[in-house]
Structure 1
Amino acid sequence: MSRDATSAMLERIGEDNVRFLHLQFTDLLGMPKNVAIPVKQAEKALTGGIGFDGSSIQGFVRIEESDMILKPDLSTYTLLPWRSGEYTVARFMCDVYKANGKPFEGDPRYVLRTAMEDAARDGYIFNTGPELEFFLFRTIDGKPTTFFQDAGGYFDLAPTDLAEDVRREIIIALTEMGFEIEASHHEVAESQHEIDFKYSDALHTADNVITFKFVAKTMALMRGLHASFMAKPIYGICGSGMHTNCSLAKGGVNAFYDPDAPRELSTACMHFIGGLLRHAKAITRVANPTINSYKRLVPGYEAPCYISWSAGNRSALVRVPTPRGNSTRVEFRSPDPTCNPYLTFAAMLTAGMEGVRERIEPPAGVDKNIYHMAAEDRRCAGIETLPGDLYSAHQALLADDLICRALGPHVVEALTNVAEAEWEAYRTAVHPWELERYLATY
């Protein structure tokens, strides 16, 4: 970081009357973490970083390797709108370094940055635009419930209530923090909402995903509600997805668009799709990281579970939306908002870039509703199924050398520890469904 950049940032912090700085980063599970410092420590943070104990962070390091350093990314500076006035608070997203000054290989931001640098060697910039869905639930005595706050449906215009107020306040806060909001609407399920913001390069977008969830939860809490990004909080209704639109740019031009190609999709676009489909099972482990994620990936609720692509079919895993030209993009529909966006985008980019480099042709597109196809018809069409549970997804990850190398051995080992512990706890738990089904009978 240059001395001029540091001086300019310190001057800006002073002009904004900032009293405290939040140095944010994420753990392996995508949970935002924070070290708060008084503004007097700003120069130290910007020049040498701020030390912290990494041994207590999920997926980081053992206690004997715990000394770590947070280094702020100046481009992520923003004020927290709800903390302005006498005690104005600003935020930086940070990169994590080891005590010896080298980047920490378990930092999700580092994993994505490395994947993007690899794509940049071929001249590509990876852009992503996720669509995050979430529920707004009531709280009782400060604890979250699954009681709906509203009874609206898809694109409904409902009377003003707490849910509508919170969605508006989320948008206002995000706008003040520099987001360009493109759309917001009520989703299919009761109390389910979606807010879309403009695409950007994958690292900036991943930062925005973390910020988005943080802001949504904060604004909801201030209104006595709980914003939940859980993939499938309620049985029998749609879950929450994080459909991710993505594209490659080269020389300032959308590399997925070719006006002379079939469907106006370039060979790079088709090969990128081929790479995504080849590695879809392994990507599922990071794009759908919880036991609950796989309750969403079932037929009938607009969530994909079949490995296929289409120019418009929403039952396919990969969909190509209608717009062309600079808006040409691929929509990867399996991720859910519990994922770590840095790891998910890194896995997607790595898979897609292998497709581009090895010229992997995708199978024929599927235009019919795959949910309505018989199992034999799917088999004949070569349509495979995504992993049906966390254990199977993790096994698929371990079997995929490319995605494991992209994540790095530290991250893969940590993901393995998490998956094994989660699966064993789930496997041995007695579920209320079992009691209802068997207790009286047997």
Structure 2
Amino acid sequence: MPDRKTHPALAELKKNGATKVKVAVSDIDGVLRGKYLHIDKFEGAASGGFGFCDVVFGWDMTDSTYDNTSVTGWQHGYPDALAQVDLDTARKVPWDDNVPFFLGEFVNADGSPHPVCPRQTLKKVLARAEKLGFQPMCGMEFEWFNFRETPHTWAAKNGVPPEPITPGMFGYSLLRMADNPGFFNALMDEMLAFNVPIEGLHTETGPGVYEVAIGFSTALEQADRAILFKTGAREIGKRFGIMPSFMAKWSQKYPGCSGHIHQSLSDGKSNLFYDGASPRKMSALFESYLAGQVACMMDFGPMLWPTINSYKRLVDGFWAPVKPTWGIDNRTASFRVIAGSAKATRLETRCPGADVNPYLAMAAVIAAGLHGVEKGLKLTAPPITGSNQGGENVPRAPRTLIETARKFRESEVARDWLGDTFVDHFAATREWEWRQWQDAVTDWELKRYFEII
């Protein structure tokens, strides 16, 4: 890695006469929080870090502060935490006059990783993978709905259903792509210029739904691309009067929005999941990795389903898998084995939703898989066939956030891979989210009980 003071990214800024730089960090929910820095301030930050209020780990996505966390909170006065710029994430924002952009992460005063920083949490898992001799490779897919709304029109509707950009159930539709060609092409072209390459983009089943496949890469790079895609799609959408939503399920009538994660392990040269001599083309390593996910993915539940709404997506018959089952090229299973060539053999974990924090979701699936490798787990459960034939006796995933948060807090596997501080903090934030739901009075309750009871 180049010295921070002589890093090519800094030389590029000076060469181009940059006067300002945009920097961003992930909060606990996967919302990018950022600011512009004057070039002089940025040059200092690039070598020594810069202060960023630690409230980004002490509030929810509506900026309401937690009352049940110990790492950060009013009891500490919300001081600045030390944010460190990752100069290797350098890129320019095409839709923002090509302003230079960098991602950051949090460190302690001694330079060690901050224990609740999402990007550092993924790096912690990847460092353990490296010690095992593996380089996790990942690709992420998102489904999301697009609406003809702005933040102002949506606020004025007070929760009345938004207007999708196209009507009807029309997946893989060239006609629906043609309804908004400017937005479609801007996503393809401007994301590529933003170093977030898109392998495929098409309409999905539902009004105004798109699906994207982000170019396969190393896991950290993929998580960076994924979080930048979600923010970038929203920023590009504003230019076209379109509001993208990555909410897991906005309407009971339509399928939810997935956040599938494709994975394989490499030794730096070859795909270690492939074994041409195996009847399934799956190596023993692949089988142990998959066995780890089958055995303990539920331990990491709130990292896959982080919101109250996440669980509304987990409905039988609506494409989202609801049990920890696996199958060969079977999209009804949580874990879809795609086995064939040395290049293509991989695992697709299909249970996460589009509302995930990419850093945390990726940390969860890799940790679960590598737990299976470390423990030498065997793939004893047979693959399901058809629509869950063979998985009838497999317990389904919990239906509420509080259930998965409690299981996560008690999980020895999660604590082993992520650390006690992170587990306690993240569990507390999900318990907070549950309490906000418990206190809320919804339109469903008003419609059901207002007149009758």
Q: TM-score, normalised by structure 1?
A: 0.92
Stretch moving more, 90-99 or 404-413: 404-413
Going from structure 1 to structure 2, the CA distance change for 1:244 and 1:67 (only over 3 Å counts) comes to same
Structure 2: 5+ residue runs without aligned partners? Answer: 60-70, 155-160
CA separation in 1, counterparts of 2:382 and 2:343? Answer: 24
The one-letter amino acid paired with 2:315 is: V
* SS of match in other structure, 2:413: helix
Stretch moving more, 51-60 or 236-245: 51-60
Q: Give the corresponding residue for 1:77.
A: 90
Q: Give the corresponding residue for 2:157.
A: none
Q: Give the corresponding residue for 1:420.
A: 431
CA separation in 2, counterparts of 1:189 and 1:159? Answer: 11
Alpha-carbon shift at residue 440 of structure 1 (Å):
3.6
8 A contact 1:136–1:163 mirrored in 2 = no
CA separation in 2, counterparts of 1:420 and 1:340? Answer: 17
CA separation in 1, counterparts of 2:121 and 2:443? Answer: 39
Structure 1: 5+ residue runs without aligned partners? Answer: none
Residue among 86, 96, 100 paired with 2:110: 100
The one-letter amino acid paired with 1:92 is: F
8 A contact 1:19–1:89 mirrored in 2 = no
CA-based RMSD of the aligned residues comes to 2.1
Q: Give the corresponding residue for 2:158.
A: none
8 A contact 1:46–1:72 mirrored in 2 = yes
* SS of match in other structure, 2:255: coil
Q: Give the corresponding residue for 2:452.
A: 441
CA separation in 2, counterparts of 1:7 and 1:284? Answer: 39
Q: Where does 1:321-340 land on structure 2 (aligned, <5 Å)? A: 321-340=338-357
Q: Where does 1:320-399 land on structure 2 (aligned, <5 Å)? A: 320-362=337-379, 363-370=381-388, 378-379=391-392, 382-399=393-410
The one-letter amino acid paired with 2:164 is: F
- Structure 1 residue ranges, 4+ long, deviating more than 6 angstroms after superposition: none
- 1:299-345 Cα offsets, whole Å, 9 max, x none, are 11110001110002211110012543121100100111211111111
| Number of residue pairs the alignment of both structures matches | 432
The one-letter amino acid paired with 1:383 is: V
Aligned-residue sequence identity (percent) comes to 27
The one-letter amino acid paired with 1:329 is: R
* SS of match in other structure, 1:117: helix
Q: Give the corresponding residue for 2:148.
A: 138
Q: Give the corresponding residue for 1:32.
A: 32
Q: Give the corresponding residue for 1:150.
A: 166
CA separation in 1, counterparts of 2:38 and 2:336? Answer: 47
Q: Which has the higher strand share?
A: 1
- 1:85-126 Cα offsets, whole Å, 9 max, x none, are xxx511111121223333211111111111111011111001
Q: Where does 1:7-26 land on structure 2 (aligned, <5 Å)? A: 8-26=8-26
Q: Give the corresponding residue for 2:54.
A: 54
* SS of match in other structure, 1:235: coil
CA separation in 2, counterparts of 1:248 and 1:408? Answer: 23
* SS of match in other structure, 2:441: coil
Alpha-carbon shift at residue 378 of structure 1 (Å):
4.5
Q: Give the corresponding residue for 1:196.
A: 213
Q: Give the corresponding residue for 2:64.
A: none
* SS of match in other structure, 1:13: helix
- 1:54-101 Cα offsets, whole Å, 9 max, x none, are 1354366233472322221111100110122xxx51111112122333
For the pair 1:406 / 2:414, whether they are aligned, the reply is no
- 1:277-308 Cα offsets, whole Å, 9 max, x none, are 11121222101100000000111111000111
Alpha-carbon shift at residue 7 of structure 1 (Å):
5.3
8 A contact 1:280–1:386 mirrored in 2 = no
